[in-house]
C-alpha cells in the first residue's frame, strides 16, 4: 500500500478576497439540479461550500498539491489543465482564473505560479478558458469567471463576444490596487431575449 503524497500548502492558493467574491456569486447562481464543474479549484474551498447545494460537482486543478488539498476536503478532483480530458457538459462552470499580468522574471518556478500567473497580458489562461468553454456547457448552461481590472475587463468581454458568448458583470468589489469582477458567461443563442435565435 502506497503512502499518500504530502500536501505542500505553500504551493496551494488559499482563500482570499477573490475566492469569497466568486463563492458568493456561485451560491447565488447555482440551482439544486445543476451539474457543476470548478476549474482550478485550489484548496477546494469553493467546491466544498457549493457541493451540498447542487446535484453533482467535479473539480479540476493542474497543481497536484491543490488536487490533494481539495480531495482532503472530500471533493472529487481530476488533475487537468483547464478542460483537458474533461468529458461531458455542465450546467454551471466556475473559474477563479490566474489573472495577474506576469513577466517571465516574476515567475518562481513553483506550482503556486499556476494560480497567479496570467501571462504578460493577464489573459493567457482566461483566453484559453473562454475559447473552450462553449463546448462544455449544456444549452442553457453558464459560467462564472473571476478576473481583475488588471486583466482588462473590456478585452475579456471582447474575447467572449468573439467566441459567441455573452459576458455580463454580476459581482464586483474593490480590492487593494485592483477591482475584482465576476463575469457570467453564456452562449449567445441561449441568452433570453438577445442574440441570434432568440425568441
pLDDT tens digits along 86-134: 989 999 999 999 877 667 766 666 655 565 655 677 788 999 999 999 9
pLDDT tens digits for range 3-44:
567 778 778 888 889 999 999 999 999 999 999 999 999 999
Long-range contacts of 126-130 (CB under 8 A, 24+ apart): 126/97, 126/99, 126/151, 126/156, 126/159, 127/159, 128/82, 129/39, 129/82, 129/83, 129/95, 129/97, 130/156, 130/159, 130/160, 130/163, 130/165, 130/185
Q: Which residues contact 2 (CB under 8 A, 6 or more apart)?
A: none
Q: Which residue has the cell 500548502?
A: 9
From CA 149, how far away is CA 176, in angstroms rounded?
Answer: 11
Give the pLDDT confidence score for residue 135 in this predicted structure: 95
User: Does the structure show a pLDDT above 60 at 195?
Assistant: no
User: Does the structure show a pLDDT above 60 at 73?
Assistant: yes
Give the pLDDT confidence score for residue 13 in this predicted structure: 83
Distance between start and end Cα atoms, the chain: 59
pLDDT tens digits for range 136-161:
999 999 999 999 999 999 999 999 99
Contact status, residue 110 vs residue 11, Cβ threshold 8 Å: yes
From CA 47, how far away is CA 82, in angstroms rounded?
Answer: 16
Q: Which residues contact 196 (CB under 8 A, 6 or more apart)?
A: 188, 189
Q: Output the nine-digit C-alpha cell for 65.
A: 498539491
By DSSP bridging, strand 178-187 and strand 77-79 are unpaired
- What the chain holds in terms of domains, given with CATH numbers, is 9-190 (3.40.50.150)
Amino acid at each position: 500500500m502506497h503512502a499518500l503524497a504530502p500536501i505542500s500548502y505553500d504551493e496551494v492558493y488559499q482563500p482570499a478576497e477573490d475566492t469569497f467574491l466568486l463563492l458568493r456569486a456561485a451560491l447565488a447562481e447555482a440551482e439544486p439540479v445543476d451539474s457543476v464543474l470548478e476549474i482550478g479549484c485550489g484548496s477546494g474551498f469553493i467546491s466544498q461550500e457549493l457541493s451540498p447545494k447542487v446535484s453533482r460537482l467535479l473539480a479540476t486543478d493542474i497543481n497536484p498539491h491543490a488536487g490533494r488539498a481539495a480531495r482532503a476536503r472530500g471533493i472529487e478532483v481530476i488533475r487537468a489543465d483547464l478542460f483537458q480530458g474533461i468529458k461531458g457538459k455542465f450546467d454551471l462552470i466556475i473559474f477563479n482564473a490566474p489573472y495577474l499580468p506576469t513577466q517571465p522574471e516574476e515567475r518562481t518556478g513553483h506550482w503556486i505560479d499556476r494560480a497567479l500567473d496570467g501571462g504578460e497580458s493577464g489573459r493567457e489562461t482566461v483566453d484559453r478558458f473562454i475559447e473552450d468553454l462553449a463546448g462544455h456547457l449544456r444549452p442553457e448552461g453558464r459560467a462564472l469567471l473571476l478576473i481583475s481590472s488588471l486583466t482588462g475587463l473590456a478585452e475579456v468581454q471582447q474575447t467572449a463576444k468573439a467566441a459567441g458568448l455573452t459576458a455580463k458583470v454580476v459581482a464586483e468589489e474593490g480590492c487593494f490596487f485592483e477591482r475584482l469582477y465576476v463575469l457570467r458567461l453564456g452562449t449567445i443563442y441561449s441568452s433570453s431575449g438577445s442574440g441570434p435565435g432568440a425568441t
